[in-house]
Each structure stands twice: as C-alpha cells, then as structure tokens.
Amino acid sequence: MVFAALAVGGGASAIVGGVPDSHTYVGGVIQAQVHDGQAGFERCTGFLIGPTHFVTAAHCFDGGGGAIQVTFDQVLSPSTSHFVSATIAGTIDDIAVLTLGVAQPAWAGLPPVNASASASAVDIVGYGVQGLDPKKTPTGFGTRSIVTTPVKSAGNISDQFLKVLANPGPCLGDSGGPNFLSGTSTVVAMTSSGSKNCNGVAYSERIDTPTLLAFLARFANS
C-alpha cells in the first residue's frame, strides 16, 4: 500500500500525531485523477532542493491525470490554496523531481553520504492524516504537520530504506514528505510506503545514498 490519498472534494489527509510545521520549503502537491471510475485529487507532500526543483514520491502521479500543482500554504486545499504549476523533470525508484513554474525563496540542502546511518529517530513532515478513530477513519485533513518517530532496523533493505513507526508517524497524504534527522534540518529520506491503516511501520526511501545524491545533485540549488 502507498500513502497517496485520493479524495473527492474537501481536503487531503495529515500525519498521525503531529503538530503544525513551519518548514516553508515543504509543500503539498495535487493532481486530478480518476480511480475506479471516481474523480478526485491525488494528494502528496514534498520538499524543495532548489528554487524551482521539488522532491516528492513518483507513485503519486498518473500519466493520464491532470495538471500537477504545488502549494506551500500551511493548509492544502484544491479549492483555496495558492498553487504553482509543476512538471516532472526526472524520476528514480519512488523519487520524482518536479520543476516548478515559479521560483521559491528557500529550500533544503542535500545531506552528507550515509547521514542516516546512526539515526535513532526522524522528524517527518506531511499534509496527511492528523489522527484516526477506532475504525481507522481520518479525523483531520490537510494541515502541514510534523511528528517525531523512532527508526527501527530495516534489515536487508536498510541500504535503501528507513523503517519507521507509523503511529506516531506518516500516513495517507504524507508520501514524498521529508524525513529530517530528529532535531536538525538535515533531510535524509522521503516517505514512501506503509500500512493502509496507518499503524505498524512505514518505509522511507533514503536520499543519502551515493546513487540518490548523484541523481538529486543534477537539480539541487537550481
């Protein structure tokens, strides 16, 4: 299962257990899509690595979908947010880099190689589910939020992914969101996949590997 959230009308889903976040270079991205005959907006999260280049999750996009739009508003709403247009500049694994039509004033730097090696916790930012009722129904939507969650052993996939708790942690709508080394501004991974019920564990694709850093360096600071 993935964290992209298809919804009709009113609001994206936000991070489980989070509080409002102030990283102005973290944004929400939407694309109009049709799933199983139902029209709505796919909603994900992402972050700038340059004034016009935005990192998010590749699985959020449909080649037959509508225009891709990005907002840096605190609240993500297809009807009220201020959006800039975006196009896909490149992809690798589950990571997509978008080129924005309007330059932005602040962005995240790329991490050192293997910066996540000693991480015991990460701060995850996203626009997804604020919380869930006992039947796993979202109880809040669309506010950029941040939560700290432990990093667990990812075993034989640790060279590509961080394994993190999903409650508190990422949920529907948080795909593409940055994972900071806890208490720092260093982004080491991007939220990628997890449980449809937003519990148990989730997985974030590391951006601090030599391969990913070489790919992202083509777009950084530009």
Tokens 């508003």 map to which residue?
Answer: 73
Would 114 be classed as within a structural domain? no
Would 156 be classed as within a structural domain? yes
Answer yes or no: do 95 and 176 share one domain: no
| Higher per-residue pLDDT: 111 or 77 | 111
Would 222 be classed as within a structural domain? no
| Higher per-residue pLDDT: 57 or 137 | 57
Tokens 């969101």 map to which residue?
Answer: 177
Q: Report how far residue 53's alpha carbon sits from residue 182's, in angstroms, rounded to the nearest whole number.
A: 24
Closest CA to 2 of 50, 44, 51, 52: 44
Answer yes or no: do 55 and 93 share one domain: yes
Owning domain of residue 9: 5-14+22-100
User: pLDDT-derived band of residue 135, with 50, 70 and 90 as boundaries?
Assistant: low
The domain boundary, picked from 68, 100, 132, lies at 100
Would 45 be classed as within a structural domain? yes
Backbone dihedral angles phi then psi of residue 190, each to the nearest 5 degrees: -130, 130
Would 107 be classed as within a structural domain? no
Answer yes or no: do 95 and 138 share one domain: no
Answer yes or no: do 88 and 32 share one domain: yes
Would 46 be classed as within a structural domain? yes
Would 110 be classed as within a structural domain? no
Answer yes or no: do 30 and 94 share one domain: yes
Helix (DSSP H) and strand (DSSP E) numbers for the chain: 1, 14
> Could you tell me what percent of the chain has a pLDDT over 90?
73
DSSP state of 183: T
Would 27 be classed as within a structural domain? yes
User: pLDDT-derived band of residue 18, with 50, 70 and 90 as boundaries?
Assistant: confident
Contact 46, 27 (CB under 8 A): yes
Q: What is the mean pLDDT of residues 90-97?
A: 98
Number of domains present in the structure of the chain: 2
Asked if the model's pLDDT at residue 128 lies above 90, the reply is no
HSE-up of residue 201 (Cα within 13 Å, Cβ side): 11
Handedness of CA 75, 78, 80, 86 (dihedral sign): positive
pLDDT in tens, 118-127: 899 999 999 9
Output the domain CATH number for residue 76: 2.40.10.10
Answer yes or no: do 92 and 168 share one domain: no
Closest CA to 42 of 17, 69, 23, 75: 69
Contact 76, 94 (CB under 8 A): no
pLDDT in tens, 31-73: 999 988 889 899 999 999 999 999 999 999 999 999 999 999 9
DSSP state of 108: P
Answer yes or no: do 9 and 87 share one domain: yes
Residue 213 token pair? 């850093």
Beta strands in the chain (DSSP E): 5-7, 19-20, 26-35, 38-48, 53-57, 68-71, 84-92, 95-100, 121-126, 145-152, 161-165, 178-181, 187-194, 201-206
Answer yes or no: do 73 and 150 share one domain: no
Residue 127 token pair? 């626009």
User: What's the CA angle centered on 168, arms 164 and 173, to 5 degrees?
Assistant: 85
Strand partners, 20: 145
Query: From the CB of residue 25, how many other CB atoms can be counted at a distance below 10 Å?
Result: 21
Question: Whole-model pTM?
Answer: 0.91
